[in-house]
Amino acid sequence: MSLLVVGSIAFDSVATPFGERRDILGGAASYFSVGASLFTPVRLAGVVGEDFPEEHIQLFRERGIDLEGLQRVPGGLTFRWAGRYEGRMDVAETLETHLNVLGECTPSLPERFRETEYVLLANDHPKNQLAVARAMTAPKLLMMDTMNLWIDHNRDELLEVLTAVDALVCNDEEARSLGENTNLIGAMKTIRECGPRIVLVKKGEHGSIVLMDDRFFALPAWPLEKVVDPTGAGDTFASGVMGWLARQDRVDFPTLKTAMAYGTVVASYNVEAFGLDKLRTLRWGDIERRYQEFIRFLDLGLE
Ligand code: AMP
């Protein structure tokens, strides 16, 4: 099944204890689309400026990503984000955000994109997410991401998007803040009551937890000794989850559990190198190999 992602495509500048990179390809939709393309055909909708180079478009093409929804704004500048990670590297400190074309225009969806059944509304202003959610004609699974910026400043609009989606993916701090509860389980239940039947929460090195209807499930992270650049961990986790669900064309609790394991695997690869450096050479065989190792790692061996 095809999978549509709508969201930011960016030039990122990133500093971590392992080095620095300037103006590399980033953006939530870039990470998501490249990750998900390992699983299923992907359609990408987003806005870039005239400064967006052909080599980045080439990467999307090599991954077979449908670019009919990629809009290049003449004379415009691509969205830019700069961030830094320190210490445990669990949160990015945003140093700069230049919305550029992202603040000036919303991506227009090609007619045939509107029929896509699996949709990820990547981190974006809630009003853009709501417009896309309403434009879809028959979604089987509409998942949204968000961030503290919108939770803190656009709460009412965000709550409206929550009523229009099937699933929310966010990190634990965002979930606590959105659910107005320092207890994560309580926060997740409150969010579910706002609309989405699936609330999927990433906890960095501590793995992930999901609430689907009235059932919880949790997974640890892949044990990784060195995290080089955590940027895109959330987007690539979501790409594995949505990629697997779309590939199976099934949204039920057992399939979601497997999907979370695949999401964990894709995200673990992504953080091993700066930007998209690891993902751009990754093949399905790499995913399958680590997935099998992850299953062995999870074996509780209880008696
Ligand atoms: P993640 O690390 O998965 O939470 O996402 C990282 C990506 O989010 C980076 O590549 C940024 O370009 C992108 N990003 C940062 N701030 C924003 C924002 N306000 N709107 C959309 N995308 C953003």
Average confidence (pLDDT) over 4-15: 98
Which tokens is 8 given? 């930011």
Strand extents, DSSP E, the chain? 3-6, 10-16, 19-26, 42-49, 66-73, 79-84, 93-98, 118-121, 141-145, 167-171, 198-202, 208-212, 215-219
Three-state DSSP class for residue 217: strand
Question: What CATH number corresponds to the domain at position 67?
Answer: 3.40.1190.20
- Judge if the beta carbon of residue 97 lies within 6 A of ligand 1: yes
Reported confidence tier of residue 274, pLDDT bands at 50, 70, 90: very high
303 inside domain: no
Residues of the domain holding 101: 3-298
Q: Express each pLDDT in 139-179 by its tens digit.
A: 999 999 999 999 999 999 999 999 999 999 999 999 999 99
**Spatial contact of 256 and 138, defined as CB atoms under 8 Å apart:** no
Total count of domains within the chain = 1
Average confidence (pLDDT) over 91-115: 93
143 inside domain: yes
pLDDT value of residue 267: 98
Four-CA torsion 280, 207, 253, 66, nearest 10 degrees? -20
Average pLDDT, the chain: 97
pLDDT value of residue 107: 81
| Dist. CA 222 → ligand 1 center (Å) | 22
- The neighbouring-strand residues paired with 93 are 84
35 inside domain: yes
**Spatial contact of 167 and 142, defined as CB atoms under 8 Å apart:** yes
Average confidence (pLDDT) over 221-226: 96
pLDDT at residue 298 greater than cutoff 90 = yes
24 inside domain: yes
- Judge if the beta carbon of residue 233 lies within 6 A of ligand 1: yes
Pocket test of ligand 1: the residue of 13, 147, 158, 227 to mutate, having most ligand atoms within 8 Å of its CB, is 147
244 inside domain: yes
Q: Express each pLDDT in 46-97 by its tens digit.
A: 999 999 999 999 999 999 999 999 999 999 999 999 999 999 898 899 999 9
174 inside domain: yes
| Dist. CA 71 → ligand 1 center (Å) | 19
267 inside domain: yes
Which tokens is 159 given? 């709550």
136 inside domain: yes
Which tokens is 254 given? 């057992």
- Judge if the beta carbon of residue 231 lies within 6 A of ligand 1: yes
